[in-house]
Amino acid sequence: MVNFGKKLMANRVQEWEKYYINYKLMKKQVKQYVQQMEEGAKDRRRVLKEFSRMLDDQIEKTVLFFLEQQGIIANRIQELGEERAILLEHPEISKLSNLREAYIEVGHDLLKLLRFVDMNATGIRKILKKFDKRFGYKFTDYYLSTRSNHPYSQIQQVFKHVGIAAVVGALSRNLVELQEHQGSYLSLYDQPSTAMVVQDPVISLIQASVEKLTRSTNFLKFLGQHALIQEAEGHVDERRYHFVSLLLNLVNTFLYMVNTYIIVPTADDYSMSLGAAATVCGIIIGSMAVAQVFSSVYFSAWSNKSYFRPLVFSSIVLFLGNILYALAYDLDSLAILLIGRLLCGMGSARAVNRRYISDCVPNEIRMKASAGFVSASALGMACGPALAGLLQINFKLYRLTINQDTLPGWVMAFAWLGYLIWLWISFKEPVRDTEVKNSSPVDAGHVDAGALESGLEQPLLKGSEQKQNDDEDEECNASEEGPEESHKPATSIASAYRLLTPSVKVQLLIYFMLKYAMEILLSESSVVTSYYFKWSTGPVAIFLAVLGLTVLPVNAVVGTYISNMFEDRKILLGSEILVLLGILLSFKVTSTYTVPQYVSSALITFVAAEVLEGVNLNLLSQVMSSRLARGTYNGGLLSTEAGTLARVVADATITLAGYLGESRLLNVTLLPSLLICVGSIIATLLTYNTMY
């Protein structure tokens, strides 16, 4: 394997030599800084200032040349366009063919320019990583926090992809119009997307490269990052993808969320029918989350070897758990009911669902699959309470009681049985291919499309969740971590925790806070509304279903509009403040507590928490270590554990607060939410400049 410095020298365009970053100089300077600091000649502040200035100069040199070359290409397209206009009036086959070849040549020059950007981008990533290793200091955090979001940032200017998109659009339109027999359409823009003609290969290569180079903020992108599904290393083998298997994973996600929330409107009534207090509903609801804390780990580990077997096990355990939940009524046993819910939690296969999308879905549709994961979760969250509201039946079937308390268990048991049969018949275990595909050497005089696409999959300053290139710099001495070690996934919760930066820890705290606030709101809703407003199961179910139905519209607005208007960290802080406002408005501070106050404060809290969850996981996916993108103890598992732990603590809080009486339940449970929310806001402000 060739180290990056040698690869840069071998693959650079000779006439552009002086415009590449001077990787060798910067690497040498890093070594000098280490020596000077050891000798006391320079302090850390001065080193950071000097190296920042050097890196700024190198990036500026590269960016300005890129913009210059982009302008030259645009001028060439304009000149060819004038020639095309003349030839279309007086067509000559030979000249039209030559003109088309000229456009294709421009396309190859654009590919060469994109390759230039890719090589420099890789160099910048590597020198930042090398600096961090040598100094044991997160210089990358410092550098990006002061450069990435600055209005004059050279880094950002490269990826304002309007210029490249305009060039690609001009090339595509002109090449299409030069092709013969293109029907009655007057222009490329008049053709519906479903009737697009076959593009020239060079245009397809450029578009594939640009799609990987840019980071769009559309709705699917936002939902995909909401799911915190890590990008698979390289391209997924098409043999691993099976649509029905993906659909089965999404249905598993949907059914599990329905299973989680279908009991919320009736949990208090069920607990009282078994001789317990209404507030024991917190334990009933939370027992599923308790088991999920442990099940997430073994399912994550199991998915390293198989996807089919964990899903089968999950379905069987959930079937049995729901049967026990339903039978607890006739057995008059709270213990059986809790065991049933614990079994349901042990069947949580969300780690498998995430992992399947990450590892087995091709890159071009992975974002849609990730959005489907979030949509399935949201739909299940809404359908659970709504379904509970419809199950208002009371009759005997032999010795079995069928009523609003037991029906959720029976319905979900048969749902999981049907799912298990479908799974057994239709699921296709993906091919396990452990071979690492290395790119062949790229000839200096030609652009290798595969290598280019692979390289451009990473932006200029890569998010931490993305993988390092296969050509990791091997020149490292004893003080540096070798490339294999830097790629090795975390092997335990403790080792995963050590990989977390302060900003990532704060974002996990935020995730804990929002899940805690949402669980308090949802789990105690039946008790609170029954005590203050005398609501029955029906109104509670409708209220919770409406809350669940806000998830997708809110994410659509945030992902499509708000995220394009404000930085993620600004939305993050604003959402935290709104959650705080919702919690404050929820407190009972007067002698009366009205429905408008409760409903409005609940909507503010829930909607703000949903916005906060999406933005927080979006940021988390960008800054989390690449070593947490794979293996058992990955970023998705850590966020799941943080959220599940929050739910466990919240449900335990409800049960404990119940001993103080239902009249005090609301304020007592809201107080921890308030304190955790204030703490997360303070932590956000302290680490604000490292959230990028």
If DSSP states are collapsed to H, E and C, what string results for 518-582?
HHHHHHCHHHHHHHHHCCCHHHHHHHHHHHHHCHHHHHHHHHHHHHHHCCHHHHHHHHHHHHHHH
Q: Which of 438, 595, 628, 605 is nearest to 522 (CA)?
A: 605
Residue-level length of the chain: 692
Q: How far apart are CA 312 and CA 305, in angstroms?
A: 14
Percent of the chain scoring above 70 in pLDDT: 73
Q: How far apart are CA 659 and CA 279, in angstroms?
A: 8
Q: How far apart are CA 504 and CA 642, in angstroms?
A: 12
Q: How far apart are CA 73 and CA 79, in angstroms?
A: 10
What pTM, to 2 d.p., does this model score?
Answer: 0.61
Q: Which residue has the tokens 């819910």?
A: 341
Q: Which residue has the tokens 């006739």?
A: 330
Greatest mean pLDDT range, 214-228, 459-473, 488-502, 674-688? 674-688
Quickly state the pLDDT bin for 194 (edges 50, 70, 90): very low
φ/ψ of residue 400, rounded to 5? -95, 135
* Structure confidence at residue 333 (pLDDT): 94
> Could you tell me if 443 and 200 are in contact, meaning their C-beta atoms sit under 8 angstroms apart?
no
pLDDT at 413 over 90: yes
What are the structure tokens assigned to 557, written together?
Answer: 């607005």
Q: How far apart are CA 682 and CA 674, in angstroms?
A: 12
pLDDT at 348 over 60: yes
Quickly state the pLDDT bin for 430 (edges 50, 70, 90): confident
Q: Which of 249, 83, 68, 262 is nearest to 178 (CA)?
A: 83
Q: How far apart are CA 217 and CA 223, in angstroms?
A: 10
> Could you tell me if 340 and 324 are in contact, meaning their C-beta atoms sit under 8 angstroms apart?
yes
What are the structure tokens assigned to 549, written together?
Answer: 């139905």
What are the structure tokens assigned to 497, written together?
Answer: 């925790």
Which amino acid type is present at position 259?
N
Which helix (DSSP H) or strand (DSSP E) does residue 126 occupy? helix 93-135
φ/ψ of residue 396, rounded to 5? -110, 135
Question: For residue 481, how many other CB atoms are within 10 A of its CB?
Answer: 12
Q: Could you give the 3-state DSSP secondary structure of residue 401?
A: strand
Burial class (CB in 10 A: 0-12, 13-18, 19+), 279: buried
Q: What is the pLDDT of residues 202-251, one digit of tens each?
A: 666 666 666 555 543 344 455 555 555 555 444 555 667 889 999 999 99
> Could you tell me if 220 and 560 are in contact, meaning their C-beta atoms sit under 8 angstroms apart?
no
Segment 19-26 shows an average pLDDT of 88
Q: Is the dihedral of CA 544, 549, 550, 555 positive or negative?
A: positive
Angle made by CA atoms 678, 683, 687, in degrees to the nearest 5:
150
Q: How far apart are CA 43 and CA 33, in angstroms?
A: 9
Q: Which residue has the tokens 């098409």?
A: 238
- Of 410-414, 453-457, 536-540, where does mean pLDDT reach its minimum? 453-457
What are the structure tokens assigned to 228, written together?
Answer: 């915190």
Q: Which of 105, 104, 131 is nearest to 34 (CA)?
A: 131
Q: Could you give the 3-state DSSP secondary structure of residue 129?
A: helix
Q: How far apart are CA 567 and CA 684, in angstroms?
A: 14
Q: How far apart are CA 553 and CA 532, in angstroms?
A: 30
The DSSP-derived string for 488-519 is PPP-SHHHHHHT--HHHHHHHHHHHHHHHHHH
Q: Which of 569, 587, 599 is nearest to 673 (CA)?
A: 587
User: Furthest-apart CA pair in the chain: how many Å?
Assistant: 92
- Of 161-170, 482-491, 495-504, where does mean pLDDT reach its minimum? 482-491
Q: Which of 298, 418, 411, 286 is nearest to 349 (CA)?
A: 298
Segment 105-116 shows an average pLDDT of 83
Count how many Cα atoms sit within 13 Å of the Cα of residue 155 in the half-sphere of its side chain.
17
The rounded radius of gyration (Å) of the Cα atoms in the chain is 29
Taking 3-state DSSP, the helix, strand and coil percentages for the chain, each rounded to the nearest 5, stand at 75, 0, 25
Q: What is the pLDDT of residues 277-315, one digit of tens each?
A: 888 888 898 899 889 888 888 888 898 889 999 999 999
- Of 36-50, 122-136, 184-198, where does mean pLDDT reach its minimum? 184-198
- Of 166-180, 556-570, 597-611, 635-649, where does mean pLDDT reach its minimum? 166-180
N-term to C-term CA, the chain: 33
Q: How far apart are CA 128 and CA 137, in angstroms?
A: 11
> Could you tell me if 355 and 373 are in contact, meaning their C-beta atoms sit under 8 angstroms apart?
no
pLDDT at 341 over 80: yes
Which amino acid type is present at position 307?
Y
Q: Which residue has the higher pLDDT, 422 or 157?
A: 422
